Structure 1
Amino acid sequence: MPSSDDTDAADGSVGRRPLHRAREVLQSSSLVAERGIRSGDRSESAATAADDGAFLRREHDGRSYRLYVPPDYDPTEPIPLVVLLHGCRQTPAAFAAETGMNDIAADEMFLVAYPKQSILENPLRCWNWYDDTDATRGNGELAWLAALTHAVRDEFAVDEDRVYVGGLSAGGSMAARAIVEYPDLFAAAGVHSGAAYDSVGSSFAALSQMQRGNGLDEREAGIEAYEAMEERSRAIPTIVVHGTDDDVVDVANARQLTEGTLRASHRGVGGEAGDVDLEPDRVETGVSGPYEYTRRQYRDGTRTLVVEEWLVDGMGHAWAGGSPDGRFTAPEGPDASRLLWQFVSEYEQSALETAADARWTLPVVGPVSLARWSRLQKKVRAAVSRLSDR
């Protein structure tokens, strides 16, 4: 991979460059598309977040990222890792400052890696989530993100059962790809204002998807995600946060992502394609500042909470509950950073894989004894009991 620039300053001049190629049609739209995201004009000192934590500059394979290490980190005690992907025209430092995720990491004791998109790969620092050469397993940017995650795990005391991925806008869209393409690496995901999972393949198709949702119906999208997981298929827990007034990535994407994730997860634990229950198990409404919101929870056949969806009425393309100093955050909205952590932190890789393995066992064993059936039920309950009570 080519070496990227290592500055965390925003590239205000990038948006004025001539964008002639087809890919740059999408990128030029991102000047509008990411107007709900800060350009990264905060100082380095303002971005260092929690007291006594370390916000490190790192590099992997010629490309840079930032890593937050919380206070009192003990290299002998493994802790969770969250990989958080910024939106277009953002930098890791700006994204950390806007989301406040480092403060939560300091309180809850987990690491946060902020990979940085290079202007050499995309002039507006958008993750190329729509391009199969960059966003499929073993390829391009997504392969680099996976390798970076492994590098952090190798260097720091990371609980490999509790590695998570999340992001905003283009970063959220890439996170939706990451949990499908690498379910053996990331236990759960958070997608804020991102596009629904789909291998659209071109910048023109991606722009259409952002505006209208993907071209597949939810059944097809779920099948595509399930098939991408191959033998690694399992439930892919995802929290979805989206504003209903988002005129950049239409809220239709949130609804499609919810249903597609639910369908893929249902198949991933051995369910049949046609018998998935699409009704939420729990619906709550509430108010946060000027915004009303609806929270829906969906469970799979093992009673595991698979999708938690937050639709914030009247909110545009901005990070909910972000820093009040951000020009384009929604600080009075629900605290998306806290919601993301509270959701993903309940999941462990081994428990999800065990639940999937147990469900897949049943169709092929034929008649089973009551004793074996009892042992299998006990195995499933032990794997998912902590999740199913949420």
Structure 2
Amino acid sequence: GRGPHCRAPLGAMRGLRWREAGMQPDMAAYFPSPGSVNSTVASESDVRIRVPFIAVDEPPDTAPWQKRGWCLMVVVPLLVGTLLGVLTGLAIAGIWPSSRSDACFSMSSCGPADACRRFSLYGRDVWVYKPRSSQLSPMQPLPVVVVLHGSYGCALQMAKVSGFQELAEEAQFIVVYPEMKKMGSGDWGFDDPSEVTFFTAMVEMLGYEFLIYPKEVFVCGFSAGGTMALFLQNNYPGYFYAAASVEAGIKYVDQWNNKSSGRPVAVVWNHNDEYLQDYGGRVYYKQTISYLLRDPARDGPTQVETLKAKGSGMLYAKQMHWDAWGQQPPVMVVSWASTEPSHVWPSPANIPGCFDAARVIWKFFVQTRSSWGGVVPIDASVKNV
């Protein structure tokens, strides 16, 4: 361009060519008078010297600050508009920031300050809720339920919508809400060795900070957190006694350890969940159950129970149990459908008349704790201090 920063080097180069030709540049060419701009060139030598600078009639160059002002007036509004459009689209899609609500940034979502504590582990927040029940003895060890949030969510939001704190006060167990490795990302690291390191250290930390039953540490999760819970019980069966998945399945079959017998597992599956439909719907459901049952020769459920709807938000729900079979652990499945398409944690607070997924899961954990020992020992290195 012919901006003010380009004139001096250009003139210097032309002056060099003139000197090589045995001529001296006329200084008036560098600083022409106003009258000379439109004047008629008198001689050939004058043409060779003056024309590059004064023959073209043009307005003065725009000052740098004026150029920057033009950029600010045009470019910045475009960038802001694009950003707002993206955020609005994500909010409409139910991802972020609408799903990452104020609950993600409010400690009150976890519960009272004297019941909820925050720990930092490998740069990640871990929120721990310990019941305040007056009947709880200071020397009484407690079971632990680890609850994993879903894609683009957060630990505190999971604490707010799952209802585990209220249940913990009744049943007396500790609830743990860890954050993903990268807060607000789409998935947990199903095959990431650093995730195994994190969960191992987390359980050990709980043993140091609280009086817990090392062999009664359970894990459950919603959406992507549910998929992670399924992988933890299968690929790393020595860390958690049992697992539960809510509105999630096994979608990374190439990372699934087919040689593992796993742990007792429960699955809560909404057949009117648009997210699960995107991953294959009924086919995805059957694939998940077949991988959890592990043996194709395994018969149908040993027990089927209907969960009656008490409101307009649920079409149907049935609870199916498969007892332990050989070395295969028990499996429980809640197959249900909401009236409207939804991808939320099932509870009466979130869906009118729906069952309480937290209570169904806890009941399953308690039953397997008392009735199934399993063939894979829980890691005995995790001890209370």
> What's the TM-score once normalised by structure 2's chain length?
0.64
SS at match of 2:309: strand
Given candidates 311, 322, 332, the residue that maps to 1:289 is: 311
Q: Which residue of 2 aligns with 1:125?
A: 185
1:104-156 per-position Cα deviation (integer Å, ceiling 9, x unaligned)? 011110001100125xx36x333334x52x2xxxx022431232122112321
Q: Which residue of 1 aligns with 2:365?
A: 344
Q: 1:345 Cα shift? A: 2.2
Q: Which residue of 2 aligns with 1:321?
A: 347
Asked if 1:97 corresponds to 2:151, the answer is no
Contact 1:87 1:169 in 2 (8 A): yes
Distance in 1 (alpha carbons) for counterparts of 2:185 and 2:234: 23
Distance in 2 (alpha carbons) for counterparts of 1:241 and 1:127: 19
Q: Which amino acid aligns with 1:140?
A: S
Q: Which residue of 2 aligns with 1:80?
A: 143
Structure 2 unaligned segments of length 5 or more: list them: 1-82, 378-385
SS at match of 1:175: helix
Contact 2:293 2:328 in 1 (8 A): no
Contact 1:153 1:160 in 2 (8 A): yes
SS at match of 1:348: helix
Contact 1:85 1:175 in 2 (8 A): yes
SS at match of 1:346: helix
Q: Aligned runs of 1:139-154 on 2, under 5 Å?
A: 139-154=193-208
Would the alpha carbon gap of residues 61 and 342 (structure 1) be closer, same or farther in structure 2, given more than 3 Å must change?
same
1:259-292 per-position Cα deviation (integer Å, ceiling 9, x unaligned)? 21111xxxxxxxxx55322x11122223242211
Would the alpha carbon gap of residues 305 and 351 (structure 1) be closer, same or farther in structure 2, given more than 3 Å must change?
closer
Q: Aligned runs of 1:1-390 on 2, under 5 Å?
A: 16=86, 32=93, 34=95, 38-42=99-103, 44=106, 46-49=108-111, 54-72=115-133, 73-118=136-181, 121=182, 124-129=184-189, 131-132=190-191, 134=192, 139-196=193-250, 198-200=252-254, 224-227=256-259, 229=260, 233=261, 236-250=263-277, 251-252=281-282, 253-263=284-294, 273=295, 275-277=297-299, 279-285=300-306, 286-290=308-312, 291=314, 292-301=316-325, 306-314=330-338, 316-321=342-347, 323=349, 329-348=350-369, 351-353=372-374
Q: Which amino acid aligns with 2:127?
A: R
Would the alpha carbon gap of residues 171 and 111 (structure 1) be closer, same or farther in structure 2, given more than 3 Å must change?
same
Aligned length: 282
Would the alpha carbon gap of residues 321 and 85 (structure 1) be closer, same or farther in structure 2, given more than 3 Å must change?
same
Coordinate RMSD, CA, aligned: 3.4
Q: 1:197 Cα shift? A: 5.8
Contact 2:110 2:127 in 1 (8 A): no
Q: Which amino acid aligns with 2:317?
A: Y
Would the alpha carbon gap of residues 63 and 32 (structure 1) be closer, same or farther in structure 2, given more than 3 Å must change?
same
Q: Which amino acid aligns with 1:168?
A: F
Q: Which amino acid aligns with 1:245?
A: N
Would the alpha carbon gap of residues 88 and 336 (structure 1) be closer, same or farther in structure 2, given more than 3 Å must change?
same
Distance in 2 (alpha carbons) for counterparts of 1:189 and 1:160: 15
Contact 1:78 1:157 in 2 (8 A): yes
Distance in 1 (alpha carbons) for counterparts of 2:197 and 2:172: 27
Q: Which amino acid aligns with 1:287?
A: A
Q: Which amino acid aligns with 1:162?
A: E
> What's the TM-score once normalised by structure 1's chain length?
0.63
Q: Which residue of 2 aligns with 1:366?
A: none
Structure 1 unaligned segments of length 5 or more: list them: 1-12, 18-27, 202-223, 264-272, 324-328, 358-390
Would the alpha carbon gap of residues 158 and 126 (structure 1) be closer, same or farther in structure 2, given more than 3 Å must change?
farther
Contact 1:247 1:317 in 2 (8 A): yes
Contact 2:120 2:126 in 1 (8 A): yes
Contact 2:124 2:179 in 1 (8 A): yes
Would the alpha carbon gap of residues 32 and 102 (structure 1) be closer, same or farther in structure 2, given more than 3 Å must change?
same
Q: Which amino acid aligns with 2:303?
A: R
Distance in 1 (alpha carbons) for counterparts of 2:141 and 2:231: 26
Q: Which amino acid aligns with 1:260?
A: Y
Contact 2:244 2:361 in 1 (8 A): yes
